[in-house]
Amino acid sequence: MNDATGMYIAETHTSAAVWQYRVEKMILEGRTRYQTYQICEVPRFGKSLFLDYNIQTSILDEYVFHECMSQPAMTLHPNPRNVVVCGGGEGATLREALKHNTVEKATMVDIDKELVDMVKQHMPEWHQGAFFDARTTLLHTDARQWLADKKGAGFDVVLSDLPNPHEDGPAQFLFTREYFQIAADAMSDEGVFAMQAGSANENYPECMVSCIETLESMDVFPHVAGYYGIVSTFFQPWGFVLASKRHDPLALTEEEIARRFAQRGVSNRYYTPRFHAAAFTLPEYLLEAKRHSGRVLTDAEPFAWTA
């Protein structure tokens, strides 16, 4: 009844809990300049990637996260041709964007070249060749700085698939109003921005609701909407935020989504026309958390994720 014998990767989930993922087989591990990584087999989740001992993705439901990361923004834009992915190491956010046959150019900017090189070779189930698509440009530099240099570039869609904003972590200033403004300035007049925004759970909603609050505080995005995906691998529903200069995601009908998917050759497993409305219907507790603990995140007062 109490045999816990085995190998585990333990992740501290706020002050409330420690989650120990069981490792059946270690496939590969290493350390880049920025982070440690392990690829391993976890029961029921299968092949999984951990960065700094935090699970990032598993083969079971990586599609949930990556469809949520890409598809709502890509679908909302009437004609996404020039797309940017900030971060997105596994290449699966890129893969999802490229599903839309309207895309002519997709630029992925991930600072960790060593990690992406490893992913190319050892995680083909994730990128599925997206790195080698003729439309893809892959850059290894600071995403915020790169976007700042692209002011006026007129990108159609910017997808911000970055690590959580840990205090002193590499992504803390990629969850602030200043960064969002830089992204807006690099986008066209009907540009759509989407980001992963942290847990959508009631016990740790502060990051997600503050991202919504921050994007809403900006004149440039008249349409801001939170949504979530049920990522079993994370042991919680995961939050995303979409911010749009012209098009309203809540006005998108099931029929219109289906029409665009057909036109663009898109087929999804999680973000389906039928499911769009449900994904954008936030539970009351998130609305309440936004009122109580949502705040505008700035470079001066960024979010500090609690380990």
| CB-nearer residue toward a second copy: 54 or 244 | 54
Q: Which of 97, 156, 82 is nearest to 130 (CA)?
A: 97
Instruction: Specify whether the CB–CB gap between 29 and 38 falls below 8 A.
Output: yes
Region from 47-55, 96-104, 106-114, 254-262 binding a second copy, contact rule CB under 8 A: 47-55
Does residue 132 belong to the site contacting a second copy (CB under 8 A)?
no
User: Smallest distance, Å, CB 124 to a second copy?
Assistant: 22
Residue given tokens 């909302």 in the structure block: 76
In whole angstroms, give the CA distance from residue 294 to residue 288: 9
Does residue 267 belong to the site contacting a second copy (CB under 8 A)?
no
Does residue 237 belong to the site contacting a second copy (CB under 8 A)?
yes
Query: What does the H/E/C string look like for 116-155?
Result: HHHHHHHCHHHHCCHHHCCCEEEECCCHHHHHHCCCCCCE
| CB-nearer residue toward a second copy: 70 or 136 | 70
Query: Cβ neighbours of residue 196 under 8 Å, at least 6 residues apart?
Result: 65, 69, 160, 161, 162, 238, 239, 240
Region from 15-23, 97-105, 130-138, 180-188 binding a second copy, contact rule CB under 8 A: 15-23
User: Smallest distance, Å, CB 64 to a second copy?
Assistant: 7
Region from 90-98, 169-177, 196-204, 240-248 binding a second copy, contact rule CB under 8 A: 196-204
Instruction: Specify whether the CB–CB gap between 221 and 243 falls below 8 A.
Output: yes
Does residue 122 belong to the site contacting a second copy (CB under 8 A)?
no
Does residue 131 belong to the site contacting a second copy (CB under 8 A)?
no
Task: Give, for 226, the enclosing helix (H) or strand (E).
Answer: strand 223-231
What DSSP line would sit under 181-224, residue for residue?
HHHHHTEEEEEEEEEEEEE-STTS-HHHHHHHHHHHTSTT-SEE
Q: Which of 59, 133, 170, 283 binds a second copy (CB under 8 A)?
A: 283
Residue 161 known to be catalytic: yes
Does residue 173 belong to the site contacting a second copy (CB under 8 A)?
no
| CB-nearer residue toward a second copy: 62 or 156 | 62
Name residue 240's beta-bridge partners: 196, 227
Q: How many residues bind a second copy (CB under 8 A)?
A: 60
Among residues 156, 161, 248, 299, the one annotated as catalytic is 161
Does residue 52 belong to the site contacting a second copy (CB under 8 A)?
yes
Region from 87-95, 170-178, 213-221, 265-273 binding a second copy, contact rule CB under 8 A: 265-273
Tell me the torsion sign for CA atoms 118, 124, 127, 128.
positive
In whole angstroms, give the CA distance from residue 108 to residue 86: 6
Q: What is the contact surface with a second copy in residues (CB under 8 A)? A: 1-23, 25-26, 29, 38, 42-45, 52-54, 60-61, 64, 200-204, 230, 232-233, 235-237, 269-270, 272, 274-275, 277-278, 281, 283-285, 307
> Looking at the annotation, which residues are catalytic?
161
